[in-house]
A and B are shown apart, each in its own frame.
Chain A
Amino acid sequence: MAAIEADALAKSFGGRPACREISFTVERGEVFGLLGPNGAGKTTTLRMLAGLYAPDAGAARVAGYPITPGRPGGPELRARVGLLTESPGFYDRLTARENLMYFARLQKAREPARRCGALLDRFALREHADRPFAELSRGMKQKLAIARALVHDPDVILLDEPTVGLDPEATREVRNVVAQLAADHATIVLCTHHLEEVERLCSRAAFIAGRLVAIHEIRRGSLLRIELAAPFAPDGVRALCHSLRLSGSTLLIEPRAEVPEIVAALVRAGARIAEVAPHRDPLEDAWLQLLAEARER
């Protein structure tokens, strides 16, 4: 059984639709991306899956618990879901440890003190554990928020914009934490604006713009685009590539060898090269197209 099954979820507020026709499944151990412009309905979708909002129409099943129109997920569902909210949301005067312990108890985590200690260690927060939350850096706050989402060992982790508003160093730290979770085969729904996060971490991503536009399979491995100044038969360099596709004067290569080695082989084979550049992932193309369509609407 899939960890999440969403079927035609729809939600509106005061007659204004926030999202509709949201359907997707997330398998256990999969990292699934939710992409879309601001106001596309990503957070609303996430909140429905977290048991905070009841859908107006459609249904979902999260960690085996149902969500139906007018009925948000109950406490059993919320106990199996870990939600990282867009803002860390902790109590400034309590220490990092006190904050984490509070949520661990509310989530009925087993052995909360031990669990919190282990998470503080895992996210390198142990030495800051007894400082008031207000004194932590943005990156530490976000890591603590991720620790809170994991404190009850949930079946499904929902991450809402985990790197928004972070400086580059904190962004890298948080991305590494999410990558660690992905490597541990956690089931994650990652809601983000950052394509590179989705490309790096997700196996699939849904584009949302008020409704589900498309579900995109992420292709790993960077492609190399080589523009040729003259016609050329590339058979001689096939051994250096995982895949090779010639389309007009554009040669798309998934390299097996280092780029200079491939370029040298091409030149030796008689190719006249006009330009060599990394090929944009199809995800970016799809994203830009989606943004253009959303703006037109």
Chain B
Amino acid sequence: MIGVVIRKELLEVRRSPILLLSMASLPATVVAVPIALLAWLVRAAPEQALLFVQDVYGVRESAGVAAGIASVLARNWLPMFLVLPIFLAVLLAAQSIGGERERRTLEPLLATPVSTLSIVAGKSVAAMVPALAITWIAAALFCLGIDAVAGHMLLPDSAWLFGTLALSPLLALFGNATAVVVSSRVLDPRAAQNLAATTVLPLLALLVFQLAGRIALGPRFYFALAAGVAAADVALIAIAVRLFDREKLLTR
């Protein structure tokens, strides 16, 4: 039954150009803007840019201006790619579950013999697969772009590999489970989406502090984050399955 739900959910996503556009716009920005900025800085103001990264980040890059700035981006831009799986999963999951109520498809869906666990799992997988696929494609493009501008292979390093391959799935699950929990309590899918999306704020704050040179997130932080998110995932899934009760959903 999970397969039936997943297939239908993915078909709906494919048929929604606005949703696809909104899903593609953030990753495109996250990839294109820093690389374009990097390329522009290297040409327009190379000395000032190098001085800036030396002052703020203490970078001493012997391979040149482009490599110096690229290494800063490579080191500091990873949190943005950790925001993506959460944000994209929330975007899809809040629509798919809250949308059922809004389109009044919830009652006929719950009237079938399919279990609530299958519905939650099917919708979750259908939200996480595109979120992860887009994140991985965006990360690969970013790595290629940075390497091209730097002139040698900077990315992916071990932090990027761990972040995108291990941490991203955990974060996508976190975003999805949060959206399921929120949309089982909040009637309006857009409100549920906005509320669930606020979970990216701590990561964005870390990104801002790191870009400002105030903190430097290292492997220990990413391991700790992975452990914390995994624990939160288990708790959120348990809550989501308990909240996804036929009667409670129909009477809210």
A interface, CB within 8 angstroms of B: 13, 47, 50-54, 72, 75-76, 78-79, 81, 83, 85, 87-94, 98, 102-103, 105-108, 132, 145, 148
- Which residues of chain B (107-133) have a CB below 8 Å from chain A? 107-115
Q: How far is the CB of A73 from chain B (nearest CB, A)?
A: 10
CB <8 Å contact, B8 and A89: no
CB <8 Å contact, B113 and A76: yes
- Which residues of chain B (6-28) have a CB below 8 Å from chain A? 8, 11-12, 15-16
Q: How far is the CB of B250 from chain A (nearest CB, A)?
A: 6
A81, A94, A107: the one contacting B12 at CB < 8 Å is A94
For residue B158, which residues in chain A have a CB less than 8 angstroms away from its CB? Answer: none
A-B contacts besides A75-B114, A75-B115, A78-B112, 7 pairs, CB < 8 Å: A13-B251, A52-B246, A89-B104, A90-B103, A92-B103, A98-B8, A107-B112
CB <8 Å contact, B246 and A72: yes
CB <8 Å contact, B113 and A108: yes
Contact with A along B210-252 (1 / 0, CB 8 A): 0000000000000000000000000000000000001100110
Instruction: Provide the main secondary structure of the chain B interface.
Output: helix
CA distance A53 to B111 in the complex (A): 10
B105: interface (CB < 8 Å): yes
- Name the residue in A51, A89, A92 with the highest tally of chain B Cβ atoms < 10 Å from its Cβ: A89
B interface, CB within 8 angstroms of A: 1, 4-5, 8, 11-12, 15-16, 103-115, 246-247, 250-251
CB <8 Å contact, B113 and A89: no
Q: How far is the CB of A75 from chain B (nearest CB, A)?
A: 4
CA distance A145 to B108 in the complex (A): 9
Q: How far is the CB of A17 from chain B (nearest CB, A)?
A: 14
For residue A145, which residues in chain B have a CB less than 8 angstroms away from its CB? Answer: 108
CB <8 Å contact, A102 and B8: yes
If the complex has contacts A50-B111, A107-B113, are A94 and B105 also in contact, measured as CB distance less than 8 A?
no
CB <8 Å contact, A51 and B111: yes
Q: Which residue of B lies closest to A88 (CB)?
A: B104
CB <8 Å contact, A52 and B4: no
CA distance A205 to B239 in the complex (A): 42
If the complex has contacts A105-B4, A106-B4, are A54 and B111 also in contact, measured as CB distance less than 8 A?
no
For residue A93, which residues in chain B have a CB less than 8 angstroms away from its CB? Answer: 12, 15-16
For residue B109, which residues in chain A have a CB less than 8 angstroms away from its CB? Answer: 106
B12, B104, B106, B108: the one contacting A103 at CB < 8 Å is B108
CB <8 Å contact, B105 and A91: yes
Which A-B residue pairs are the 7 nearest by beta carbons? A75-B113, A93-B15, A106-B112, A87-B104, A89-B104, A79-B113, A83-B111
If the complex has contacts A75-B115, A94-B12, are A89 and B247 also in contact, measured as CB distance less than 8 A?
no
Q: Which residue of B lies closest to A54 (CB)?
A: B247
CB <8 Å contact, A78 and B113: yes
CB <8 Å contact, A148 and B107: no
Q: Which residue of A lies closest to B249 (CB)?
A: A52
CA distance A91 to B16 in the complex (A): 12
For residue A108, which residues in chain B have a CB less than 8 angstroms away from its CB? Answer: 113
For residue A53, which residues in chain B have a CB less than 8 angstroms away from its CB? Answer: 246-247, 250-251
If the complex has contacts A93-B16, A94-B8, A94-B12, are A52 and B110 also in contact, measured as CB distance less than 8 A?
yes
CB <8 Å contact, A91 and B8: yes
Could you name 19 residue pairs across A and B whose Cβ atoms are closer than 8 Å? A47-B250, A50-B111, A51-B111, A52-B246, A52-B250, A89-B105, A89-B106, A89-B107, A90-B108, A91-B8, A91-B103, A93-B12, A93-B15, A93-B16, A94-B8, A98-B8, A103-B108, A105-B4, A107-B112
For residue B114, which residues in chain A have a CB less than 8 angstroms away from its CB? Answer: 75, 106
Q: Which residue of B lies closest to A81 (CB)?
A: B111
Q: How far is the CB of A146 from chain B (nearest CB, A)?
A: 12
CA distance A196 to B8 in the complex (A): 39
CA distance A94 to B105 in the complex (A): 13
Q: Which residue of B lies closest to A83 (CB)?
A: B111
CA distance A72 to B249 in the complex (A): 14
